[in-house]
Amino acid sequence: MGQRKVAMNKKYSFLHHDHDPQSIQERILSQSKSVLRDFVYGAIDGAVTTFAIVAGVAGANLETRTVLILGFANVLADGFSMAASNYLATKSELEERMLVTQYEEEQIEINSEGETEEIRQIFINKGITGSTLDELVTQITSDKKEWLKVMLAEEYGYTNREQSPLKAGLVTFSSFAIFGLIPLIPYMILTNGNFFWSTIFTGIAFFSAGAAKTQWTRHSLWRSGFETLLIGSLAALLAYYAGAILSNMNFL
């Protein structure tokens, strides 16, 4: 039991924080959304799409120059496309939040009784009743700023964590470009066995991107890494055999 507790402490060591009043206040006020999703999203897609091109070209027995041209074009074009999509999606979420916030601010001003009842029902659903409920509702509705924060969190699911659209886009593009270039490295520095080494390098990239997810999951590094490696390998196999089949068709 003691060993298990030690193991769990190691697993969650990066989440460790102090519990004195000052530390709690600083942690609450400085909340920011993790960029892990954007990093893993870009990394996996970058490695998968670029290696899919490499595998497809290898399956079609095309020359190294073709691999590099298509690979670099994919890193730039598809990487920018993903970054722009993530930027716009994150920006849309923030704009939606701003609209909801403005609406709730207006409702608190023009229909305070209805909004007060919503607060009451929120905490009734949490099992709070009687004088404790009355005191809590009175305290929350006496501060419009806190009142609004409670409404946004409980009614719409918004937290204090916000993501910068620009940061989300940059992280996605950076991870896409870094991992997307990995399958091309053997074609840039070697003369023989390019596809073999590209497969090895990309496999390591797949595993590494999956392993990075364990920072915020309860899965083991090996399980998460091999899961991503399997998914990436399936995509590569599809691309390889698609290239091989299409290269033998009469219209090519």
DSSP states of 126-187 as a string?
TT--HHHHHHHHHHHHTSHHHHHHHHHHHHH---S----HHHHHHHHHHHHHHHHHGGGHHH
The string of DSSP letters for 31-42 reads ----SHHHHHHH
Helices (H) and strands (E) in the chain, counts: 11, 0
Q: How far apart are CA 151 and CA 149, in angstroms?
A: 5
Nearest by Cα to 169 from 96, 72, 93, 90: 90
pLDDT score, position 73: 92
pLDDT > 90: what percent of the chain?
28
Average of pLDDT values for 26-43?
Answer: 66
Q: How far apart are CA 175 and CA 38, in angstroms?
A: 8
pLDDT score, position 28: 46
Average of pLDDT values for 6-16?
Answer: 49
Q: How far apart are CA 241 and CA 201, in angstroms?
A: 20
Question: Which H/E stretch holds residue 105?
Answer: helix 64-110
Residue range 94-143, pLDDT digits in tens: 899 899 999 999 999 999 999 999 999 999 998 998 999 999 999 999 99
Asked whether the beta carbons of 207 and 226 are under 8 A apart, the reply is: yes
Neighbours of 13 (CB within 10 A): 8
The interaxial angle of helices 64-110 and 165-181, nearest 10 deg, is 160
Collapsing DSSP to helix, strand or coil, 68 comes out as helix
Asked whether the beta carbons of 161 and 31 are under 8 A apart, the reply is: yes
Contacts of 33 (CB under 8 A, 6+ apart): 161, 162, 163
Residue range 35-81, pLDDT digits in tens: 777 887 788 788 888 888 888 887 777 788 888 999 999 999 999 99
Query: Per the structure block, which two tokens stand in for 159?
Result: 């937290």
Tell me the one-letter amino acid at 88. L
pLDDT score, position 224: 79
Query: Per the structure block, which two tokens stand in for 116?
Result: 């007060």
Largest CA distance in the chain: 82
Asked whether the beta carbons of 168 and 161 are under 8 A apart, the reply is: no
